[in-house]
Structure 1
Amino acid sequence: MRNHIRTTALAATALLAALSLTACGGSDSANDGKAGAAAPAANATTTDTGKDAGGTKDAKETDSGTAQAPAENTSTTSKSSSAGSSSKKSSAGATGSGSKTPVTCTGSNTKVTVTKVSRPINHLLLTATNTGSVPCYAYHAPALRFDDAQAAFPVLRDSIPQAVVTLAPGQSAYASIGLFGESDGQDLHKSTHLGVYFTGKADQGSTGAPANLTLPAGTAWGDNGFVTYWQSEMSDALMY
């Protein structure tokens, strides 16, 4: 009986020991489970760090690229603006150099011609064309001298234009010559050459070189003839 009880006690002790070992094993397994769970957490942290680092790097690269692109565009725009500004300045300079102050028309910067017209009768037409590179003013009336006449030809004061005639390069001014009046009768002077003198703004004598012209054949003039002021239109000159 005593041996049975001892055996039973030993069996109980062994069972308790086994249960204890099992409990320890379960605890270790639980700990192992916790450790296994912790590992993904560590991996998750590493992944998060990688994402943060990568995301920050990508963000910086993106920000840097974005910042650089507008900077380059801005620089290009600025250069274009500068180029446009230079072009405008260049254009302005060209315009400034092209717009020169007008000078007085003379025989040196104009081509003067004389022609006979059918209407009105006994009239000649003077045409002065600006051959220079700048505008010129055709002041007042031309001073005329037929051959070696001692006095200048009379000027018709009624023909004064409203404004001074300004000739751009290539433009022309006109003046008509009434060769003689009704009272001249047969007292006419035949001439072959005509000196055309230009006057200045003050209308005191001639200025610059004259134009020396050959008159149409058979030209004769009288003391009561006249020459008009320079006109911008041929019809205005021939109306007198």
Structure 2
Amino acid sequence: MNVTAYRRGRTVRTIAASMLAVAALSVTAACSGGGDGGSDNAGKANSSASAPVSKDNQDGKENQDGKDNQGGKENQGGKEEATGGAAGDAGDAGVKDAKSQTQKSGGGSESEPVGDCDINKTAISLQNVKSPVNHMLLKATNKAGVDCKLVGYPGLKFGAEAQAATPVNEDSKPQAVVMLAPGESAYAGITTSAADGSGAEGGEVDSLEVFIDGSEDPKPVELPGGSVYVDSAAKVTYWQTDAQTALTW
């Protein structure tokens, strides 16, 4: 056997076997690398698909929905508050207007009270009347520059010797106090004596003093004709707003 040829053939086989082994290793490595790569990529893909939404993204979505809704509610509340405020302002204005009108009309607790008429600023006169008989009419006129009131009835003192004021006719009491604006007048009817002569202690008097409520000092009033007959039937009415009413009692 040719030793040289044998060695050559063995060497060729050895080289071929080595090449086959390297090729097999390359194929195996390639297959392994491809499989790993595919597994990693698939895992990453699955991880990306199944991963939860990040907190930032979730917050962003919630903020977008919640903020919009909350903002809308706040805007609605602001609108209601503005509407309520406008209604409140209108109500306040209405109250102020009503209060102003009350003050202008002289009513209400804040308006100045009307005081008693000042006897020194009140003109008082007396006159005879034809009917009814034995009657006279007392007239009081407000000469002050402000309103005043005449409370009750005038106090009358006929003659210097009179011990008491003339009694009042209680049936003549009006429903309200007489109020006088500047220049206005009030009236009181006076019965001087009984028409049928039944009165007692009668006599002629030549003077008259008149008192009004709120003043301590009397005012002398001139008697028509200088004197008048007065007896125990004499009476005076409450102050009235017109002469006819004053002479009815």
Q: The TM-score by the shorter chain falls in which range?
A: 0.5 to 0.7
- Is 2:84 aligned against 1:50? no
Give unpaired runs (5+ residues) of structure 2. 1-8, 198-202
CA distance in 2, matches of 1:196, 1:227: 15
- Report the Cα distance in structure 2 between the residues aligned to 1:144 and 1:228, rounded to whole angstroms: 11
Contact 1:129 1:172 in 2 (8 A): yes
Deviation at 1:21, TM superposition (A): 0.7
Partner of 1:221: 228
Aligned to 1:230: 238
- Specify whether residues 32 and 167 from structure 1 end up closer, same or farther in structure 2 by C-alpha distance, changes over 3 A only: same
Asked if structure 2 preserves the Cα contact closer than 8 Å seen for 1:106 and 1:209, the reply is no
Alpha carbons of 1:178 and 1:107: their partners in 2 closer, same or farther (altered >3 Å)? Answer: same
Calculate the aligned-residue CA RMSD, in Å: 5.8
Partner residue of 1:32? 41
In structure 2, the partner of 1:167 is 178
Does residue 137 (structure 1) correspond to residue 137 (structure 2)? The answer is: no
Q: 1:237 to 1:64 in 2, by over 3 A?
A: closer
- Counterpart CA distance in 2 for 1:153 and 1:121 is 25
Cα offset, 1:135, TM superposition: 3.9
Counterpart mapping for 1:103-118 below 5 A = 103=116, 106-108=118-120, 110-118=122-130
Matched, 1:120 2:132: yes
Q: Percent identity?
A: 16
Partner residue of 2:190 out of 177, 182, 194: 177
Given that 1:107 and 1:211 are in contact with CA atoms closer than 8 Å, whether structure 2 keeps it comes out as no
User: In structure 2, the residue corresponding to 1:31 is in which secondary structure?
Assistant: helix
Q: For residue 138 of structure 1, what is the amino acid of its counterpart?
A: G
Question: In structure 2, do the counterparts of structure 1 residues 166 and 35 end up closer, same or farther at CA, with 3 Å as the change threshold?
Answer: same
More divergent stretch after superposition (18-27 vs 171-180): 171-180
**d(CA) in 2 for partners of 1:56, 1:113:** 92
Q: Which amino acid aligns with 1:222?
A: Y
Structure 2: distance between partners of 1:237 and 1:177: 8
Pair member with larger Rg: 2
Residues 136, 41 of structure 1: CA spacing in aligned structure 2 closer, same or farther, 3 A cutoff? Answer: farther
Which range moved further: 1-10 or 155-164? 1-10
Residue 111 of structure 2: aligned partner: 98
Deviation at 1:113, TM superposition (A): 4.4
Q: In the alignment, is the contact (CA less than 8 A) between 2:167 and 2:234 conserved in 1?
A: no
**Aligned twin of 2:5:** none
What is the TM-score of this pair, normalised by structure 2?
A: 0.52
* 1:176 Cα deviation from its structure 2 partner: 1.9
What secondary structure does 1:18 align onto? helix
1:129–1:44 Cα change, 3 Å = same
Q: Unaligned regions of 5+ residues in structure 1, if any?
A: none
